[in-house]
């Protein structure tokens, strides 16, 4: 015969067990109803904290290698004085960056380890969805902020574990004010993304390198709405493909239109880029514009003060107004000595930034080993192309690649 005290304890234990089972059922149902969120591995799930002293009106330069681990982050004042230095022991190929919700996001092209720096210079690492192991050799093809969203990709490729039959990428995104990652995998190699009215427009090349298209994804439901085919003038071995060497510069949203940058893949059409203007509602081609009748090696694009700037590798900038009918050609004023220096020391553009009425261009002279290279930022007027400043980067790193972003 059970005592009254024993009966009370049995009732309490059973009540606890029932409560636990109900809680587990609720958690299970919630996880099934929201499969696109990755609650275990979000932007806010960050690892070790390090700090970089930064200038209020300056810039941060990132030195990294494509294949070797580690990177150097160096902050400079607006005149080139070194303010702070920090080594990152993990990660590689930090080619892409964007500013989102007051923080600076730095992404790796080669590896599932990225970094975010806040306004105080605190630096944390973050990763893609939890199904991809940390530091796995699955990098990103861009990281961009658009509207209220942060986007980056997982360049999965043809992978026996994740996509065994077709070359695929995964779009990863997070909404401002939320910590969870959403993600959706689709065939192709993603080039860029823009957001409008909670829809993501994702520019891609298919896995065979044949066709170009735009996926339209509903960000509220994480569902594919449309797959627009892009007219890339494919004929035998000739075709046009997305162009732009800097972080998703081939696709923009410009005055309620989708703008795509394309360039030819064969002599005669190569370095003759075109702008395609698309209707975002159905993907139809509204207009096609030739950027230049002369050779124009497109490096980057930027939207600034309501204008579209198309930046070349050879010192030319095309500035379009909102109608895309009026274009101004800006020729950067570079003297003979600098032009000769670019040729003999193999000077290439590594980053650009437009701020105010100026454009900053980072040149990397790659003829010598990284430790002995000249690396400098040259500032030009966006109005006249006149040179305004030369800022030598005095930190000498043994890393091959270099990028920069402004901190003001």
At 15-60, the pLDDT tens digits run: 444 444 434 343 333 333 232 344 334 454 444 566 888 877 899 9
| Residue whose C-alpha is closest to residue 309's, from 262, 265, 249, 387 | 249
Tell me the two tokens of residue 91: 């990660």
Predicted TM-score (pTM) above 0.75: yes
Q: Please state, in angstroms and rounded to a whole number, the distance separating the CA atoms of residues 70 and 87.
A: 7
* Torsion angle in degrees (nearest 10) through CA of 52, 54, 58, 62: 0
Give pLDDT, residue 355.
93
The predicted pLDDT at position 39 comes to 34
| Average pLDDT across the chain, whole number | 88
Res 56: pLDDT: 76
Q: What is the pLDDT of residue 49?
A: 61
Q: What strands, in cross-sheet order, belong to the sheet with 223-230?
A: 189-196, 199-205, 212-218, 223-230
Give the containing element (helix H, strand E) for 402.
strand 401-406
Tokens of 4: 């009254």
CA distance 295 to 209: 24
Q: Pick the closest to residue 363 from 381, 352, 371, 375 (CA basis).
A: 375
Q: Are 76 and 61 in contact (CB under 8 A)?
A: yes
Residue 83 contacts residue 55 (beta carbons within 8 Å): yes
Average pLDDT over residues 7-22: 42
Burial class (CB in 10 A: 0-12, 13-18, 19+), 373: buried
- Residue 316 to residues 234, 298, 331, Cα–Cα distance (Å): 28, 9, 5
| CB-CB contact of 278 with 251 (8 Å) | no
Greater pLDDT, 10 or 50: 50
How many residues does this entry show for the chain? 408
The yes-or-no verdict on residue 2 having pLDDT over 50 is: no
Helix/strand/coil for 280: coil
Integer Cα distance of 94 and 61 in angstroms = 11
pLDDT at position 182: 96
Average pLDDT for 336-343: 95
Residue 288 C-beta-side C-alpha neighbours within 13 Å: 12
Higher pLDDT pick, 3 / 386: 386
pLDDT on residue 48: 54
According to DSSP, residue 49 is labeled -
- Closest residue by Cα to residue 84 from 93, 95, 72, 96: 72
Tokens standing for residue 159: 């992978």
pLDDT, one tens digit per residue, over 269-296 is: 999 999 999 999 999 999 999 999 889 9
State pLDDT tens for residues 149-205.
999 999 999 999 999 999 999 999 999 998 889 999 999 999 999 999 999 999 999
The pLDDT value given to residue 365: 97
Q: Which residues neighbour 123 within 8 Å (Cβ) at sequence distance 6 or greater?
A: 49, 50, 51, 52, 73, 86, 88, 115, 116, 117
Other residues' Cβ atoms within 10 Å of the Cβ of residue 48: 9
Residue 356's pLDDT band (cuts 50, 70, 90): very high
Q: If DSSP codes are grouped into helix, strand and coil, which group holds residue 160?
A: coil
* pLDDT recorded at residue 350: 96
Q: Which of 31-35, 66-70, 101-105, 145-149 has the lowest mean pLDDT?
A: 31-35
CB 54 within 8 A of CB 83: yes
Question: Of 137, 134, 149, 146, whose CA–CA distance to 66 is shortest?
Answer: 137
User: 3-state class of 23 per DSSP?
Assistant: helix
Average the pLDDT over each of 54-58, 350-354, 362-366 and give the range with the smallest value. Answer: 54-58
The predicted pLDDT at position 43 comes to 53
Report how far residue 112's alpha carbon sits from residue 123's, in angstroms, rounded to the nearest whole number. Answer: 16
If pLDDT is split at 50, 70 and 90, which confidence band does 94 have?
very high
């Amino acid at each position: 015969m059970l005592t009254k005290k024993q009966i009370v304890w049995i009732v309490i234990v059973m009540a606890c067990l029932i409560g636990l089972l109900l809680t587990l059922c609720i958690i299970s149902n919630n996880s099934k109803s929201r499969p696109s969120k990755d609650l275990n591995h979000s932007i806010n799930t960050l690892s070790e904290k390090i700090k970089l002293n930064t200038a209020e009106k300056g810039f941060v330069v990132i030195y990294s290698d494509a294949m070797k681990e580690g990177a150097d982050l160096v902050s400079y004042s607006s005149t080139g004085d070194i303010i702070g230095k920090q080594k990152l022991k993990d990660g590689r190929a930090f080619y892409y960056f964007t500013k989102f919700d007051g923080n600076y996001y730095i992404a790796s092209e080669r590896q599932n380890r990225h970094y975010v720096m806040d306004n105080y210079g605190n630096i944390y690492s973050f990763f893609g969805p939890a199904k991809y192991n940390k530091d796995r050799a699955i990098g990103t093809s861009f990281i961009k902020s658009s509207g209220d969203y942060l986007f980056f990709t997982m360049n999965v490729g043809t992978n026996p574990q994740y996509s065994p039959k077709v070359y695929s990428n995964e779009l990863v995104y997070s909404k401002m004010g939320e910590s969870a990652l959403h993600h959706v995998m689709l065939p192709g190699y993603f080039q860029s993304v823009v957001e409008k009215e909670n829809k993501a427009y994702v520019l891609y090349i298919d896995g065979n390198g044949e066709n170009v298209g735009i996926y339209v994804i509903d960000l509220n439901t994480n569902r594919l709405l449309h797959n627009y085919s892009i007219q890339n003038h494919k004929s035998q071995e000739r075709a046009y493909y997305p162009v732009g060497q800097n972080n998703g510069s081939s696709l923009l949203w410009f005055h309620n239109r989708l703008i795509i940058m394309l360039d030819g893949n064969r002599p005669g059409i190569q370095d003759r880029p075109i702008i395609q203007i698309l209707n975002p509602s159905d993907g139809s081609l509204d207009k096609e514009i030739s950027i230049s009748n002369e050779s124009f090696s497109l490096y980057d694009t930027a939207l600034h003060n309501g204008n579209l700037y198309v930046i070349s590798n050879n010192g030319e900038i095309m500035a379009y107004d909102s109608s895309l009918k009026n274009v101004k050609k800006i020729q950067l004023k570079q003297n003979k000595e600098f032009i000769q220096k670019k040729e003999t020391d193999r000077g290439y553009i590594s980053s650009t930034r437009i701020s105010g009425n100026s454009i900053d261009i980072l040149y990397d002279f790659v003829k010598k080993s990284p430790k002995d290279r000249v690396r400098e930022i040259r500032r030009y007027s966006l109005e006249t192309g006149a040179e305004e400043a030369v800022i030598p980067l005095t930190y000498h790193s043994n890393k091959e690649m270099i990028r920069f972003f402004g901190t003001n």
